[in-house]
Amino acid sequence: MTTPNHRPAGQWALIFRRFKTHRVAMWCLYLITTIYVLSMFASVIAPYKRDAISLDNAYTTPFSTAPDGSYHVFGTDHLGRDFFTRLIYAARVSLTTAITVTTVSTLIGIVVGLTAGYFGGIVDTITSRMIEFISTFPTFTLLLIAGSIAIQNSDDIPIPALLSQTIGVIMAVNEREGKQVVMIMVIFIALGWTGVARFVRGMVLSIREQLYVESSRALGASHLHNIITHVLPNAMPPIIVAYTLGLSGALVAESALSFLGFGIQDPTPSWGNMLSFANSYMFNYPWMPLVPTLPILVCSLAINYIGDGLRDALDPRVQTEVTRAKRDALLKAIRDRSAAS
Amino acid sequence: MATFLIRRLIQMFLVLIASAVVSYVLLYFAPGGPMTGLRQTQQSGRNKMSADDIARIKQRFELDLYIPYRFTRWLVGFPAGPVTIAGQTFLADVAAGCKTPGMVRLRYPDGRTEIIEEGCEVPITFADLVDRRTSRGILFGDFGLSQVMLRDRPISTLIASRLPYTLQLMGASILISIAIGVPLGIYSAVRQYSRFDYAMTTVSFVGSSLPTFVIGIICILVFAVGAKEAGFIYLPPGNAVSNKDYVIPYIGEVIASSTLDRVLHFIMPLGVLVFVNIAGYSRFIRSGMLEVLRQDYVRTARAKGLRERTVVLKHALRNAILPFITLLAGVMAELFGGAAITEAIFNWPGLGRLLVDSIERNDYSVTMGLTMVSIFLLLLGYLITDILYSILDPRIRLS
């Protein structure tokens, strides 16, 4: 840290310093960043073309040479496509999907939850009822149904071309594949924001009653000023923890959906759909499902460790709120996963 | 209490109707359905169907009725025909649907022609509905007929054939995980920062961050594929019973569909679910207990000289267990809904897989039936939780 000594370090610098002491979390952060950055250079790193099919080379075992003399680090799949290449591209698809989904649904959740919690009244009643209603739906069932509809009707569902092209560029897929991924993301966001909104609303309700907010209001500060300088910064730490947990939740949910065949569809690689194919050959080639399992395992563990580290690093002043937030997040995680188990 | 119950029941009913509308609309706009295959035969040229055939098939799936009528017939079994009051029939001539749609040939200025459906040539009136099979309505427990999976057989048969497997798997796994997970959570909270606590938190951390399908696949690879290859006792990788006798080292021959066979098939899916649930439950109980153990009343209880056991189990646990009850609200829905992914991996013939299969094969009536039941059970679970909460926590008054 190069913070000058004469000035006290800011809250975020403190948090970051404390986060750095959590060794495992720090390593996990490096790991995830490395994986994601490397996947952005997929076209440079990948030894083969993403969809290069060669049936003669199918089922090559990892660390061995295929019949035609090409070397495959992680072997090849049932169509002879290089696993390593596809894993890198899939990292790009799966991680980008998880990050986009969590970020957008967290942002929506913050805006809705803030409005409902801060202003209360009729806005609060309506949004709370809506959130309650959406959360009575069995989420995973709805994901399956919506996924299946979106996949089968992909030509009839209007998605702005600009959006699917942008996603296509980020994920290195063509526009049609990009459109499909966008649809899956939209479904996840539509079902995902309610949890964040409810959580933020609860926190804002308690922060709003704090004396510092009240005195700021008494001094004549505008609502916008109060929200930006008082409410949001105090609500931020638990939101960040929830965000990391949400990130691993989205990653797992996307791979589960793709694993069952209702998520991202085959030529577009995702760890989930690669696993779903590998799974059907597991009795003849037991190594095969291990290849796509490895990144899912590593990434979900790593993201959870980062969340753990962040939780420990957050300001002790809001510790009670963080514990409550932690428990809410845990409750949500358990609920989500029992739906998706 | 009575006012609370009445208000909640009304609320529940409204939510149920609203979710029925939402899921019906969602699935109505869904593609596929019974007409997809027919449209393909229509285009192939051979075996071309007559308009009568199409009308008949549409009638069988009620696709010829207008959506509001289709929906109410599905929901409450109305209209099932003209309304008869005191010997007089009403509404017999009201159109409920369209048997043969009118065809209009459009000719565009550039010479193209296109045939579109417009208007109605032969309408279906309420009087025509009398001879149709009507379900009594899903609200009254009649799910109607399956369209694809078990053609024209009641969905309740389908559900009844799968329900025992799901109840068995989910019931056993939930009971075992509560029985093990809660004590583990308490113990590691009481012995915070002990070696046991560290081991426990690490294992449960890993268990609750890994997706179920990853754990399931690793289990199959180790205990089914790997163990078989190594010549150890191995477990069958999938299904609930096998259809052939097989030999397992050290155990001997296992006769198909014997109790031993069923038990062997049951172990792995059960183990995976129990592991995942224990990880979640114990972490949850641990964090709750840690918070409660710091409270003043616990210190007071200790200061009074109560035994540690009494302090932990009576004073702390009773408060720490409250949030755990909210967690169990979803249990009933889970009991019924099953675990889709675990069932898919282990090929377990339960309701979770039925749901996945029905969505995969576009058998909407089955999907909707299952969704409705799980929404109902979820709502019921919330209600029971609220009541339980007020019983266990005297500070909360239901009003």
State whether B277 and A327 contact (CB < 8 Å). no
State whether residue A294 sits within 8 Å of chain B by CB: no
Residues of A in contact with B210 (CB under 8 A): 297, 300-301
The reply to whether A129 touches chain B by the CB within 8 Å rule is no
Peptide bond connecting B79 to the previous residue in cis, omega within 30 degrees of 0: yes
Instruction: Give the pLDDT confidence score for residue A325 in this predicted structure.
Output: 59
Instruction: Mark yes or no for CB contact B375/A137 under 8 Å.
Output: yes
- Nearest-Cα distance to chain B for A120, in Å, is 21
pLDDT (0 to 100) of residue B375:
83
Mean pLDDT is lowest, of B178-182, B289-293, B314-318, B389-393, for B389-393
Of A301, A330, A341, the CB nearest to B212: A341
pLDDT (0 to 100) of residue B270: 93
The DSSP string of A42-54 is HHHH-SS-TT---
In chain B, residues with a C-beta closer than 8 Å to the C-beta of A283 are 225, 237
B29/A contact by beta carbon, under 8 A: yes
Task: Determine the residue among A94, A134, A141, A331 to mutate to test chain B binding: the one whose Cβ has the most chain B Cβ atoms within 10 Å.
Answer: A141
Residues of B in contact with A296 (CB under 8 A): 211, 214
Mean residue pLDDT across chain B: 81
More confident residue, B81 or B344: B344
Candidates B28, B209, B357: best to mutate against A (most CBs of A within 10 A) is B209
Which residues of chain B lie closer than 8 angstroms to A303, CB-CB?
A: 209
CA distance B234 to chain A (A): 14
**Token couple for A91:** 């990292």
Contacts of A282 in chain B (CB under 8 A): 217, 220-221, 225
Contact flag A256-B211 (C-beta cutoff 8 Å): yes
What residue in B sits closest to A132 (Cα-Cα)?
A: B15
Query: On the CB side of A319, how many CA atoms lie within 13 Å of its CA?
Result: 5
A228 interface with B at CB cutoff 8 Å: no
User: What is the helix, strand, coil percentage profile of chain A, to 5?
Assistant: 75, 0, 25
The residues in A 148-177 lying below 8 A from B, measured between CB atoms, are: 148-149, 152-153
DSSP string, A230-263: IIHHHHHHHHHHHHHHHHHHHHHHHHHHHHHTSS
Say if CB B346 and CB B238 are below 8 A apart: yes
Question: How confident is the model over B230-271, as pLDDT tens digits?
Answer: 888 888 888 888 888 888 888 888 888 888 888 899 999 999
Specify whether the backbone of B255 is left (phi greater than 0), alpha (psi in -120 to 50) or beta.
Answer: beta
Q: Which H/E stretch holds residue B107?
A: strand B95-107
C-alpha span between B235 and B346 (Å, rounded): 11
Residue B396 pLDDT: 66
Using a CB-CB cut-off of 8 Å, the residues of chain B touching A294 are none
Å between B113 CA and nearest CA of chain A: 23
Of residues B123 and B216, more confidence is placed in B216
Q: Quick check: B27 and A145 CB within 8 A?
A: yes
Q: Are strands A71-72 and B83-85 parallel, antiparallel or unpaired?
A: unpaired
Q: How far is the C-alpha of B198 from the C-alpha of A278, rounded, in Å?
A: 35
Give the model confidence (pLDDT) of B55-77 as tens digits: 777 777 777 777 788 888 888 87
Tell me which residue of A266, A268, A270, A262 sits closest to A150, measured CA to CA.
A262
CB contacts, 8 Å: B326 with chain A: 331
Closest CA to A38 of A75, A85, A71: A85
Instruction: Please answer yes or no on whether A152 and B280 come within 8 Å at the CB atom.
Output: no
| Confidence (pLDDT) at B183 | 92
Question: Chain A neighbours among B 211-270 (CB < 8 Å)?
Answer: 211-214, 217-218, 220-221, 225-226, 237
Terminal C-alpha separation, chain B: 7
Pick from B193, B217, B332, B378 the residue to mutate for testing the A interface (most A CBs within 10 Å): B217
Question: Is the CB of A206 inside 8 Å of chain B's CB atoms?
Answer: no
Could you tell me if B1 and B398 are in contact, meaning their C-beta atoms sit under 8 angstroms apart?
yes
- Chain B positions in Cβ-Cβ contact with residue A148 (cut-off 8 Å): 30, 359-360, 362
Using CA coordinates, name the residue in chain A closest to B269.
Answer: A341
Q: Which of B22, B284, B375 sits opposite A331 (nearest CB)?
A: B284
Domain regions of chain B by residue span: 154-226+270-392
Q: Name the strand (E) or helix (H) holding B114.
A: strand B113-125
The answer, for B31 touching chain A at a CB cutoff of 8 Å, is: yes
Q: Looking at beta carbons, which residues of chain B come within 8 Å of A335?
A: 327, 330
Q: Which of A137, A286, A337 sits opposite B225 (nearest CB)?
A: A286
> Mean pLDDT in runs of 10 for chain A (341 residues)?
58 80 87 90 79 76 76 80 86 90 93 87 83 77 82 74 80 77 87 84 83 86 86 83 86 88 84 87 84 89 86 61 60 60 58
The verdict on a CB contact (< 8 Å) between A283 and B330 is no
What pLDDT, on a 0 to 100 scale, did the predictor assign at position A56?
76
Q: How far apart are CA B182 and CA A124, in angstroms?
A: 36
Q: CATH code for B154-226+270-392?
A: 1.10.3720.10
d(CA B5, CA A95) in angstroms, rounded, equals 46
Of A138, A252, A259, the CB nearest to B371: A138
Residue B179: what pLDDT?
93
Contact A137 B22 (CB under 8 A): yes
C-alpha to C-alpha distance for B296 and B367, rounded to whole angstroms: 51
Chain B residues whose beta carbon lies within 8 Å of the beta carbon of residue A289 = 217, 221
- CA of B33 to nearest chain A CA: how many angstroms apart? 11
- B residues 193-222 lying closer than 8 A (beta carbon) to A: 205-206, 208-214, 217-218, 220-221
Residue A25 C-alpha, separation from nearest chain B C-alpha, in angstroms = 13
The answer to whether the CB atoms of A259 and B342 lie below 8 A apart is no
Summarised one tens digit per residue, pLDDT across range A6-37 is: 666 677 787 788 888 888 888 999 999 999 99
- Nearest Cβ partner for A327 among B205, B206, B287: B287
In whole angstroms, what is the distance from residue B12 CA to residue B170 CA?
25
- The B residues from 345 to 374 touching A (CB cutoff 8 Å) are 345, 355-356, 359-360, 362, 367, 370-371, 374
- B35-44, B160-169, B337-346 — which is least confidently predicted? B35-44
The four Cα atoms B52, B57, B62, B66 give a dihedral, to 10 degrees, of -40
pLDDT at A1 (0 to 100): 47
Predicted TM-score (pTM) of this structure: 0.83
